[in-house]
Chains A and B, each alone.
Chain A
Amino acid sequence: MASVEFQNVTKSFGSFNAVSDISFKVADGEFICLLGPSGCGKTTSLRMIAGLETPSSGKIMIGPDDVTHLHPKDRQISMVFQDYALYPHMNLADNIAYPLKVRGESVEKRHKRAKEVADVLKIGDLLQRLPSQISGGQQQRTSLARALVYPSRVYLFDEPLSNLDAKLRLEARGFLNHLQRDMGMTAVYVTHDQAEAMALATRIAVMDRGRIVQFAPPIEIYRRPATTFVANFVGNPPMNMIPVEGIVESEQLQLRAHGVLVRNLPLSQGIKAALGKGAALTLGVRPEHLSMGTINDTNTLSGNLFANENMGPEKLVTFERQDGGRVTARIFTDDMVETTENVAFTFDGAHATLFDAEGKRIAADGERPL
């Protein structure tokens, strides 16, 4: 295993910058997720680690080596592709053992090793089959087996679970998590699924338009999203974002908007600075932090019922404020919502996240690391 480091890496295709000037370091044994919408540069970044793309400028290090211009075969890495890239003319044993074949191992040795790995992944009985004769989940595990069959410094995953159906995806995700705990591998994992990133990563790099917006452990990404973009991207359903007007009354912050009444939040240095530039702020509240209340509560969000979706253990209640903005609350099914037109939800002031006019999170005074 080894570390991976990006030093001011830019990759442009013509005049388009797929990745612009990003720097980050993945420590030895870390599991990093590159998370972002399509076209944010996450796959390009991964392919540059693999050597399948060459940076336009900047440097990429694996361990102590500068690999910026090294051919993929000389990097001692393995990669799992989104489409699995299993060779259709080889049976599973030869597919899994292919990396050993190019390393000049004997047939007996490589088939023995392929069998060992396949047994761990529970595809040991299928080794004589062709890739077209096995299911999607088995194909996925075969491509994983091919990545694990030889010693590798870094494991790269390019949306490896996105072609699986929902149930298999959860199972495979759990297995990858187990594998990471077991092997302590250095891994870079590309995904657009925030739940996958939250579940697997030791740290998540959220990317947007070729840049890293926030690089932090999952819990920090979730609790302290650096920008409105991150807040919108992480969480299911995502954080409610409400444009509000901030007013200072008796040294405390009050927030006002249609259907929004938030009283007596602490007035931090950051908020003072933000209010100095104008009263427009954005209030972020996670759906799971909302609970049923009345308009007389300290902090309320209210409006007309828009949708009431029963998810089994929980309910998603969406209501529309007077100005048309929608807010979603996630409540336990026991807290029944009466089918009244007007609903009101309340939340703890500590769960309010505030963003300034530029969309950056405003830190509270004396915030400690999570």
Chain B
Amino acid sequence: MRLSFGQLLARIGFSALAAIIGILFALPLIWFIFAPFNARAELGIAIPDPWTLQNFMTVFGNGFAMRGLLNSLIQSVGGVILVAAAATLAAYALSRSSIPGKSMITYILLLFSSVVSGTAAMVPIFLIVSSVGLMDTHIAVILVFAGGLLPTAMFILRDFIDGIPKTYEESAMVAGASPVQAFFDVALPVIRPGIVVVVVWAFVNIWGSFLIPFILLRSDDLMPSSVAIYSFYSEAGTPIVTLLAAYSLIYSLPVVALYLFVSWKFGFRFFGGIKA
């Protein structure tokens, strides 16, 4: 096939534009990989000369920041377990039972959830947590995150479970299984890829969130990394770029590791039903 001159020009133009946009998006990532190993890192991209681990040594020496990583892990794992367990059971019930207006319930929850974990609800959440006496605890952060993420998680999972034939559990029950057995033996393994999606999504959400822990926590030894990262700012509010870069890299590793693990173990694919 021969292209006319105009078509050729349009193709070259499009490729050039795409390349420029691609480079624009790649720049911060390139900085993100190089800067932590550079003793004199600034906001511009520079290849480290020499390569050094000095930045990391300093960061590891910062107890508050290291404690923050552990706190992030506690809050994320706690939140993820709560969200995944509750969303699976709720979504299963919403999908399989015949509650009238059940889709309405999900949509209303979904609507409110964007408010619950959003900035607008911060004052009421603060007041509730405070009056329950959970202020400055991991539990408070976990509960508030769970409340905010649950509706969306339920929505994702309900859609997923709706796509799984009811006959799986029905055949199990006819074969002699109780509803609970049918759920754990047959339904749960089939739903698992959907749960994995929710787990990753919830983990990323909690791991990266700043506002809720910042408001609900006071003690330094409970603060997660998203808050602790501010210890790499000077009194005047300017970032200490070298340390910030090193800490950011460490901070992002668990999320990357989770993605790699999940895609290795589950591959982000869905079983669905067997095509007849």
Contacts of B176 in A (CB 8 A): 73, 99, 102-103, 150
B274 touches A72 (CB 8 A): no
Contacts of A139 in B (CB 8 A): 274
Contacts of B165 in A (CB 8 A): 83, 85
A51, A85, A132, A136: the one within 8 Å of B171 (CB): A85
Contacts of B185 in A (CB 8 A): 87, 98, 101-102
Q: A86-B274, A89-B189, A89-B271 are in contact. Are A78 and B175 (CB under 8 A)?
A: yes
State whether the Cβ of A319 lies closer than 8 Å to any Cβ in chain B: no
A87 touches B186 (CB 8 A): yes
State whether the Cβ of A163 lies closer than 8 Å to any Cβ in chain B: yes
B190 touches A87 (CB 8 A): yes
A83 touches B174 (CB 8 A): no
State whether the Cβ of B103 lies closer than 8 Å to any Cβ in chain A: no
* A-facing residues in B130-188 (Cβ within 8 Å): 165, 167-168, 170-178, 181, 185-186
- Give chain A nearest CB distance to B173 CB in angstroms: 4
* Dominant SS among interface residues on chain B: helix
From A73, A136, A143, A146, residue with most partner B Cβ within 10 Å: A73
Give the distance in Å from the alpha carbon of A329 to the alpha carbon of B173 in the complex. 48
B167, B177, B178, B271: the one within 8 Å of A85 (CB): B167
A136 touches B276 (CB 8 A): yes
State whether the Cβ of A337 lies closer than 8 Å to any Cβ in chain B: no
Give the distance in Å from the alpha carbon of A86 to the alpha carbon of B171 in the complex. 9
Q: Mark A326-349, 1 if CB is under 8 A from B, else 0.
A: 000000000000000000000000
* A-facing residues in B85-103 (Cβ within 8 Å): none
Q: A83-B165, A102-B181 are in contact. Are A78 and B174 (CB under 8 A)?
A: yes
Contacts of B118 in A (CB 8 A): none
State whether the Cβ of A50 lies closer than 8 Å to any Cβ in chain B: yes
* B-facing residues in A47-94 (Cβ within 8 Å): 50-52, 71-73, 75, 77-79, 81-89
Contacts of A99 in B (CB 8 A): 175-176
Contacts of B181 in A (CB 8 A): 102
State whether the Cβ of A303 lies closer than 8 Å to any Cβ in chain B: no
Contacts of A51 in B (CB 8 A): 173-174
From B170, B171, B172, residue with most partner A Cβ within 10 Å: B171
Q: Mark B90-120, 1 if CB is under 8 A from A, else 0.
A: 0000000000000000000000000000000
Q: Which residue of A lies closest to B168 (CB)?
A: A85
Give the distance in Å from the alpha carbon of A334 to the alpha carbon of B168 in the complex. 52
Q: Mark B174-212, 1 if CB is under 8 A from A, else 0.
A: 111110010001100110000000000000000000000
A98 touches B172 (CB 8 A): yes
A163 touches B177 (CB 8 A): no
Contacts of A71 in B (CB 8 A): 173, 178
Give the distance in Å from the alpha carbon of A77 to the alpha carbon of B170 in the complex. 12
Give the distance in Å from the alpha carbon of A313 to the alpha carbon of B75 in the complex. 76
Q: A87-B190, A102-B181 are in contact. Are A79 and B274 (CB under 8 A)?
A: no
- Give chain B nearest CB distance to A77 CB in angstroms: 6
Contacts of A146 in B (CB 8 A): 171, 175
Q: A89-B189, A98-B172 are in contact. Are A83 and B273 (CB under 8 A)?
A: yes
- Give chain B nearest CB distance to A322 CB in angstroms: 46
Q: A88-B271, A102-B176 are in contact. Are A72 and B170 (CB under 8 A)?
A: yes
Q: Which residue of B lies closest to A162 (CB)?
A: B276
Give the distance in Å from the alpha carbon of A132 to the alpha carbon of B271 in the complex. 10
Contacts of A210 in B (CB 8 A): none
Contacts of A75 in B (CB 8 A): 174
Give the distance in Å from the alpha carbon of A356 to the alpha carbon of B140 in the complex. 78
Contacts of B276 in A (CB 8 A): 83-84, 136, 163
B167, B174, B178, B190: the one within 8 Å of A88 (CB): B190
**What are some 27 contacts across the A-B interface (CB < 8 A)?**
A50-B170, A52-B170, A72-B170, A73-B174, A73-B178, A75-B174, A77-B174, A78-B174, A79-B171, A81-B167, A82-B167, A83-B165, A83-B276, A84-B276, A85-B167, A85-B171, A87-B189, A87-B190, A88-B190, A88-B271, A89-B189, A89-B271, A102-B175, A102-B181, A143-B171, A150-B175, A163-B276
Q: A89-B271, A101-B185, A102-B175 are in contact. List 5 more A-B contacts (CB 8 A).
A: A81-B167, A85-B167, A87-B189, A89-B189, A102-B181
Instruction: Sort A-B residue pairs by CB-CB distance and give the 6 closest, nearest first.
Output: A99-B175, A85-B167, A85-B171, A163-B276, A89-B189, A72-B173
